[in-house]
Amino acid sequence: MKSLSCFALCLALLLTLSWAKGPAFPLPPDTRPPGCKEHQVEDPAGRDFEDLKASIIIPYRQEKLEHIRGSLDSILYYTPRKYIREIIFVSDGNGRDTVYLNEIREMAPKLISVMVFPQVGLIEAKMRAVAGVSSNASVLLFLEPHVRVNRQWIQPLLRRIREYPKASTRRPSRCPCST
């Protein structure tokens, strides 16, 4: 347990120092509905979602490195670290010029792993990644390699999982901060 807290502290310090100058990507506009900016998404169980750790799986094929980097930058910038167990990039049959193995690992070496498969197709690549997920993760999130997450993006998803633990989640149709 002591090594885990030391790891968490070192990771937080590393990420804080890397963001001291601000993000390396243009900040997107705040697209949350009016009224949500002033509210925090509450955990119905009162635990601040700390028991829900997400493994984020990002499959990619022939994607530009700048898109992958922008996705990861926004995830790291807008996601509280306490909710992320790991980020897994899954290369589905990329050639040497588009696998970016070392480049992706260098972005956050203690948080990211890269799985490289021959081209097996999107669903099979995702299923293989699921098999490699940490046993400490309680939530699986699949993202695209060219996504930019925004402010408080993960908390509404975790809230839906808390409220409906046996259902898949989707984007809420109403303001996620309302009860």
- The 10s digit of each residue's pLDDT in 109-130 is 888 899 988 888 889 989 989 9
* Residue 170 phi, psi (nearest 5): -150, 175
Band (pLDDT 50/70/90 cuts) for residue 134 is: confident
Domain count, the chain: 1
Q: What pLDDT is recorded for position 58?
A: 95
Tell whether 17 is covered by a domain.
Answer: no
State the average pLDDT for the chain: 82
Tell whether 101 is covered by a domain.
Answer: yes
Q: State the residue range of the domain holding 73.
A: 42-179
Task: Give the closest residue to 66 by CA, choosing from 103, 105, 28.
Answer: 103
Cα(121)–Cα(135) distance, rounded to whole angstroms? Answer: 25
Q: CATH code at 56?
A: 3.90.550.10
- The 10s digit of each residue's pLDDT in 31-54 is 888 877 778 889 999 999 999 999
Task: Give the closest residue to 87 by CA, choosing from 97, 73, 67.
Answer: 73
Does residue 77 carry a pLDDT above 80? yes
Beta-sheet pairing, 54-60 with 139-142: parallel
Tell whether 9 is covered by a domain.
Answer: no
Tell whether 125 is covered by a domain.
Answer: yes
- The 10s digit of each residue's pLDDT in 136-166 is 899 999 999 999 999 999 999 999 999 998 8
Does residue 7 carry a pLDDT above 90? no
Tell whether 33 is covered by a domain.
Answer: no
Tell whether 1 is covered by a domain.
Answer: no
Give the chain's radius of gyration (CA, Å): 17
Q: What pLDDT is recorded for position 11?
A: 41
Tell whether 142 is covered by a domain.
Answer: yes
Task: Give the closest residue to 105 by CA, choosing from 77, 125, 86, 128.
Answer: 86
